[in-house]
Every structure is written in C-alpha cells, then in structure tokens.
C-alpha cells in the first residue's frame, strides 16, 4: 500500500491510534475499528475486471482504474490498511507486509539482487539473516562480504563495483551497537555518483529493535527499512509477521516477488497489529524504556556483571549517536527496550543464572523473541545467534539478552537479583 493519505496537523502519537481509516481502494470509513477480512478469493464481476486486476498488478495505486481484489496472496484490504500505516510511520513511500520478519528480509534483498551481485553487510546480524547469507546466497551466486558498519569509512572502502546492497541492523541484535545511518548514506551517495540508475547502491536497514517509535531510518537516508512485526510492532506476542518500507521504485518488484514466492501476511495477523499493536506502541515503549533504564542501571552496579549495554545508559559507548539517531515521535530520546549484558564468568556461571531465571523467576521468561508485554531473556550465542557458531563476529558475544516488558521494574530487578545470588552460590560450592 502506498502512503498516499496524510493526516495533516495531528501528531504521530494521535494518528497511530486512529490511522487513516480508509484507503483509496476500499472504503472503511464507517468502521471505528477496521474490519478483519477473511476471503481467500474475490468475486470478479466480469472477465474484463479480472484481466484488469492482473494487468495492473504491482503498478502504483494511483495508476490503477479502481479497486480490483483478486486473491488473498495478491492483495488484501486489511493488510493494505496496515501497510499504509507503516509507510506513514516510517516516512516512506510504500510498504508491503510479509509472513514473517525473515520473509520480509529475504524479499527486500531478493527483489533487488541477482547472480553476480554482492551484498556488503555488517559483521553481526540476527542469526537467521546470517544463515540466509551463508547457507543460501552462495547457491544463488550472490556474494556476501562483511565489514564493520560501526565505522562508515571501513564501509566506504569495502564497496566494490559489484556491491549492490548495504545491509545492517541498528541497534544490532544482540549487542545493541549502533550504525550511523547518515554517515552510511553519505558513503552510498558517493558510490552512486559513478553509477547508472539501474545499478544504484541501496541501503537496507533492519530496524526491528527500534520500531518506528524509536528511530526512522528513511529520515536518516536509508532506502529500505525492514521490520519483524512479531516483535514490538505487534507487541503482544500473538502473531508472526514482517514488513518492508521502500521507495515507490521498488514497490512493483517487491509485490511481484511476494506474489510469486508467496510469503504473505495473514489478514488476521495484519488486523492484530493494526488494532492492538500500533495504537499501543508509544505507550508500551515509553513504559518499557522507563523500566529498561532502571534495570540497566541496577545491572551496571552489580559486581557480578562485567558489561551492560543499553543505549539509554550514560556509559553507552555510542551515546551521542544514540541521542541523535534514536528519537521518538516528539523528538525525545528513545533508546528502546533491549538490554545486553555480560556476567563475570570467573564469579558466576551465566548458564546457571539463566537456568535459575527459567526455573524461579515470575516476571522474566526464558524465551527467544523480543518486544513483548512480558520480559524475555535468552542467550544469543547458544540460541538466536547459534548460526554464527565458531565465527569471529561472535567472539566475546557471550552475554545475555533481555527484552523488557510491561512488568514493574522493581520486580524484574528482584528476580534478576535472586537468580544472580543463587547462581553465585552454586559456583562457590
């Protein structure tokens, strides 16, 4: 869905609650809550109408002669409403949703790349994205090279004529390192000066950890933004989904890609994100950030903790970039709800600590995923990032990832403190 409607004059925190409420293709103006559509196929009044739907498929909405829904995998009204909202939230031109965050990642890349192309990606990425690059791209003749995206000069130097796409997460899962998107966009622009339009270098950013509430990469120069809707955008842990926000020039190819590879978001899941996830996003994140800062500050004081990374901490190594890049709809600092910390393994066994949390904590759950109403804990090196086993990028990444939920921060701290104490006693025995 293109972001053609604007809600002029209202703050994003208001229209994330109300949305546009209608699209040019389908009139939902009478609904206070958008309807959940559930129709795998659509009645076509004439052969001509069916032919028009296929002929115009993937064209910008404005060029089409009216709404033609054909089949759920091609297009769906509830999904389109969500896509319109997400495009507007990211200040992008268009958005397409997908069956999962990974379906969105692979489509954002797959719709652009062909054999012989090269991707330049940050050393450390979500484990399944790393696996996509290592396990599948070599078979497709796509080369993936790595660079340290925390250093934009290193990225600029690593770009070759074959490089078609720059890819990173910011904040990086799980270390919360940040990538300076404006500096990266400059490196891309410099490389594009000597390139024909069809070979333009594209900057793709996975902004899942931040959500559009904490950061809007297109405003900083990114071409494409990818999200897992499964996380804070969905927010309640009920549905899996993904989204790609892109320029209009990529919209057609991405839509054809989605139709042919088939990874569409269920309208029921789109509805959940639209009705529950988006309107509550600012409230949830503000509360989670309040708690995350308290938990991070407490962890920082613990003698059993070697390192704490949270962009909201004064000690965060990229503090000034965090303040510049991570801002909410009102321009306030928005460091998000994710914490990464490392225990002092000479004094406490991290596995014993996590096992104790799993066995005894009420307010913290051992589970992968993030951006949930419930606080989740996991060990990336053994779980979400296990695809990196033995790889240098994970050297020293032996910590614990915390996704702060909506519980009272004092209860989260109480559970962490109790598990640290029990795990420490075990080590002493």
List of residues contacting ligand PLP (CB under 6 A): 100-102, 105, 126, 128, 169, 173, 206, 208-209, 228, 230, 240, 242
Instruction: Provide the angle, in degrees to the nearest 10, between the axes of the packed helices 77-89 and 278-301.
Output: 50
Residue 234 C-beta: closest distance to ligand PLP, Å = 9
Q: How far apart are CA 105 and CA 129, in angstroms?
A: 8
Q: CB nearer to ligand PLP: give 20 or 113.
A: 113
Q: CB nearer to ligand PLP: give 203 or 240.
A: 240
Residue 116 C-beta: closest distance to ligand PLP, Å = 26
Q: CB nearer to ligand PLP: give 230 or 419.
A: 230
For residue 160, give Cα distances in angstroms to 122, 205, 258: 15, 19, 29
Q: How far apart are CA 196 and CA 204, in angstroms?
A: 19
Q: CB nearer to ligand PLP: give 103 or 191.
A: 103
Q: CB nearer to ligand PLP: give 318 or 403.
A: 403
Residue 188 C-beta: closest distance to ligand PLP, Å = 21
Q: How far apart are CA 24 and CA 47, in angstroms?
A: 23
Is beta strand 400-403 parallel, antiparallel or unpaired with respect to 375-378?
Answer: antiparallel
- Is 42 within 8 Å of 50 (Cβ atoms)? no
Residue 117 C-beta: closest distance to ligand PLP, Å = 21
Say how many residues make up the chain. Answer: 429
Q: How far apart are CA 322 and CA 311, in angstroms?
A: 6
Q: CB nearer to ligand PLP: give 78 or 228.
A: 228
Q: Which residue number places its CB atom closest to ligand PLP?
A: 101
Residue 325 C-beta: closest distance to ligand PLP, Å = 16
Q: CB nearer to ligand PLP: give 279 or 371.
A: 371
- Is 168 within 8 Å of 206 (Cβ atoms)? yes
Residue 128 C-beta: closest distance to ligand PLP, Å = 6
Residue 376 C-beta: closest distance to ligand PLP, Å = 11
User: How is residue 99 written in tokens?
Assistant: 């069956």
Phi then psi for 18, rounded to 5 degrees? -95, -35
Enter the DSSP assignment of 137: G
- Least Cα distance to 97 among 289, 272, 226 occurs for 226
């Amino acid at each position: 869905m293109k972001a053609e409607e604007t809600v002029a004059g209202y703050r994003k925190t208001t229209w994330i609650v109300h949305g546009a409420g209608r699209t040019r293709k389908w009139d939902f103006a009478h609904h206070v809550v958008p309807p959940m559509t559930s129709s795998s196929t659509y009645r076509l009044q004439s052969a001509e109408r069916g032919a028009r739907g296929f002929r115009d498929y993937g064209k910008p909405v404005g060029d089409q002669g009216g709404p033609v829904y054909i089949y759920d995998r091609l297009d769906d009204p509830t999904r389109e409403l969500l896509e319109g909202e997400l495009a507007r939230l990211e200040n992008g031109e268009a958005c397409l949703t997908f069956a999962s965050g990974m379906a969105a990642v692979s489509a954002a890349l797959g719709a652009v790349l062909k054999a012989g192309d090269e991707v330049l990606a940050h050393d450390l990425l979500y484990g399944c994205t790393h696996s996509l690059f290592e396990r599948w791209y070599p078979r497709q003749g796509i080369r993936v090279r790595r660079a340290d995206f925390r250093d934009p000069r290193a990225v600029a130097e690593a770009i070759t004529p074959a490089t078609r796409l720059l890819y990173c997460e910011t904040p990086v899962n799980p270390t919360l390192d940040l990538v300076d998107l404006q500096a990266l966009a400059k490196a891309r622009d410099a490389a594009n000066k000597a390139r024909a339009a069809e070979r333009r270098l594209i900057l793709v950013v996975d902004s899942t950890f931040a959500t559009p509430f904490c950061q809007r990469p297109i405003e900083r120069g990114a071409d494409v933004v990818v999200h897992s809707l499964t996380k804070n955008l969905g927010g309640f842990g009920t549905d899996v989904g993904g989204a790609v926000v892109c320029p209009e020039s990529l919209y057609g190819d991405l839509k054809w890609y989605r139709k042919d590879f088939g990874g569409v978001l269920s309208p029921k899941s789109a509805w959940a994100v639209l009705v529950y996830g988006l309107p509550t996003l600012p409230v949830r994140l503000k509360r989670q950030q309040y708690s995350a800062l308290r938990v991070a500050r407490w962890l920082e004081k613990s003698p059993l903790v070697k390192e704490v990374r949270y962009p909201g901490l004064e000690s965060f190594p990229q503090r000034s970039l965090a303040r510049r890049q991570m801002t909410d709809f009102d321009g306030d600092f928005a460091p998000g709800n994710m914490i990464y910390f490392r225990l002092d393994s000479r004094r406490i066994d991290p596995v014993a600590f996590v096992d104790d949390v799993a066995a005894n904590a009420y307010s913290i759950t051992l589970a992968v995923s993030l951006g949930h109403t419930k606080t989740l804990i996991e060990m990336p090196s053994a779980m979400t990032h296990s695809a990196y086993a033995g790889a240098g990028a994970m050297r020293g990444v032996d910590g614990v990832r915390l996704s702060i939920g909506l519980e009272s921060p004092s209860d989260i701290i109480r559970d962490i403190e109790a598990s640290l104490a029990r795990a420490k006693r075990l080590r002493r025995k």
